[in-house]
Amino acid sequence: MRGRLDPGAGSLSDYYDWFKAAGAGAQLVYHNGDLASDRQVPVLDAKGTWLEGLPALADRIRKDAEDGYLILTQHRLGDGITSYIATRVRSSTEDTHTMVRHRHAAFVPA
């Protein structure tokens, strides 16, 4: 199953909701466009305040991928337009068991 996320106000919260609920293999399209240049463009709310939607979202997703929770892929849609996809590697239940196991191992004498 593939979900879509629109970067902007609330997108990081929406990502966390997806992350907690997603099982292994679930996919999320978190951006369509050119991520490198689009993250440089300020997103403004109705009052003209800059929202850190896309940069914060992309940084969080990259960190979760570095930590082994996601696999990141891209699908070219056209000239300068790419679909950025995060695929969940483990479910939140598996993450919890892994954290407990690592935490427990840290306190058990060798």
Q: Which residues of the chain have pLDDT under 70?
A: 1-2, 5-10, 43-52, 91-110
Question: Quick one: pLDDT at residue 18?
Answer: 92
Domain ranges of the chain: 2-107
Question: Quick one: pLDDT at residue 104?
Answer: 42
Residue burial 39-68, b: 16+ Cβ < 10 Å; e: rest: beeebeeeeeeebebbbebbebbeebeeee
What's the whole-model pTM score? 0.71
Question: Quick one: pLDDT at residue 35?
Answer: 87
